[in-house]
Amino acid sequence: ETGVTQSPTHLIKTRGQQVTLRCSSQSGHNTVSWYQQALGQGPQFIFQYYREEENGRGNFPPRFSGLQFPNYSSELNVNALELDDSALYLCASSPGEASYEQYFGPGTRLTVT
């Protein structure tokens, strides 16, 4: 059974640029959630996709957007990057709509300079 994978592992961008992060869900999982984790903080929920539809959104501005594809893989897009966007971005998949058991990927470390 393949776990959750994310790419790239590290990324350095300049303020104002755009970035796309990718996630492949664990086999059999139809729900994917994205989180932002700043250093020393717990993960903050960005949004969740269930069967290709956005199913919930945290307190993040519209420049954070996402997609889920028919194979349940997912993308997180961030436009107009700001310095405060520097963080570990985590993707988690689960077998259903609720977050009862989420399986996290290793994360993408984004640095904005």
Partner 1 sequence: EDQVTQSPEALRLQEGESSSLNCSYTVSGLRGLFWYRQDPGKGPEFLFTLYSAGEEKEKERLKATLTKKESFLHITAPKPEDSATYLCAVEVAGGSYIPTFGRGTSLIVHP
What separation in angstroms does the CA of 50 have from each of 8, 21, 35?
23, 18, 15
CA end-to-end span of the chain: 37
In the complex, least distance from residue 107 CB atom to partner 1, rounded to whole angstroms: 5
Q: How far apart are CA 71 and CA 76, in angstroms?
A: 16
Residue closer to partner 1 (CB basis): 10 or 14: 10
Q: Which stretch binds partner 1 (CB under 8 A): 13-21, 55-63, 64-72, 74-82?
A: 55-63
26: tokens are 């664990």
Residue closer to partner 1 (CB basis): 17 or 41: 41
4: tokens are 């959750």
13-42 positions binding partner 1, by CB under 8 A:
35, 40-42
One-letter amino acid identity for 42? Answer: G
Q: Which stretch binds partner 1 (CB under 8 A): 11-19, 65-73, 79-87, 93-101?
A: 93-101
Interface residues with partner 1 (CB under 8 A) are 4, 35, 40-45, 48, 55-58, 90, 92, 97-107
